[in-house]
Amino acid sequence: MKIICIGRNYSEHAKELNNAVPKQPMFFLKPDSAVLPKRNPLFIPEWTKELHYEVELVYKITRLGKYISEKHAHKYYDSIGIGIDFTARDIQDEVKAKGHPWEIAKAFDGSAALGSKYIRLNDLENKEDIRFELKKNDEVVQQGSSADMIFNIDQIIAYVSQYMTLKIGDLIFTGTPSGVGKVNPGDKLEAMLEGKKLLKVDIK
């Protein structure tokens, strides 16, 4: 299983990090070892001084495919979940400045927190406007809707599958809205999808 993450997919978030809004989807990978085991706390790695949360909609791939057209992409997923793409922002800034890959800042153990379940898209009233939010210590810090993504999931699948085969169980993190920020030991994060609390992470 691989985790494909889309960067800069909400224009307000691209702006808050002083990045240009991309003309094509931009992606990077996390290994399966990045998944934070359910109900485990996340221990801030000792090598970062600035660990950020990024709440994101997550699609799970249900069918094997490559060179998938945008028109057929909807056949490759049927449910949606929520996750947090934990990012060592200080380290990412360093490697970005050098033109190096991001994995050191994005792919470490525990960097992919996932909700307890996925919601079937057919059970949603409006698949084009899927709402989600993140609370830190009971205060809303990020809010988003799939409607605000620069590239929607079908465009992402069409783009990524030109380069790599999508396999059953692969996950696609679709980018984060604005409001990313730092976590400290003792913080409690809770992510909501369509009003349902599906993910809780204690930071240690």
Footprint of Zn ion on this chain (CB under 5 A)? 54, 85, 176
Minimum CB distance to Zn ion smaller for 44 or for 180: 180
d(CA 26, CA 81): 21
CB of 6 to Zn ion, least distance (A): 7
| Eight-class DSSP state of 35 | B
Minimum CB distance to Zn ion smaller for 65 or for 90: 90
CB of 67 to Zn ion, least distance (A): 25
CB of 71 to Zn ion, least distance (A): 27
Task: Find the helix or strand (DSSP H, E) in which 155 lies.
Answer: helix 153-160
Residue of 7, 2, 3 lying closest to 176 (CA atoms): 7
In b/e form, how buried is each residue of 83-96, taking b as 16+ CB within 10 angstroms? bbbbbbbebbeebe
d(CA 62, CA 65): 10
CB of 80 to Zn ion, least distance (A): 16
Residue of 52, 62, 185, 196 lying closest to 130 (CA atoms): 196
Residue of 80, 126, 84 lying closest to 106 (CA atoms): 84
Cβ-closest residue to Zn ion? 85
Minimum CB distance to Zn ion smaller for 24 or for 122: 24
Minimum CB distance to Zn ion smaller for 65 or for 95: 95
Say how many Å lie between the first and final Cα of the chain, rounded. Answer: 27
Minimum CB distance to Zn ion smaller for 22 or for 65: 22
Rg (CA), the chain: 16
CB of 83 to Zn ion, least distance (A): 9
CB 190 within 8 A of CB 104: no
Minimum CB distance to Zn ion smaller for 85 or for 133: 85
CB of 177 to Zn ion, least distance (A): 10
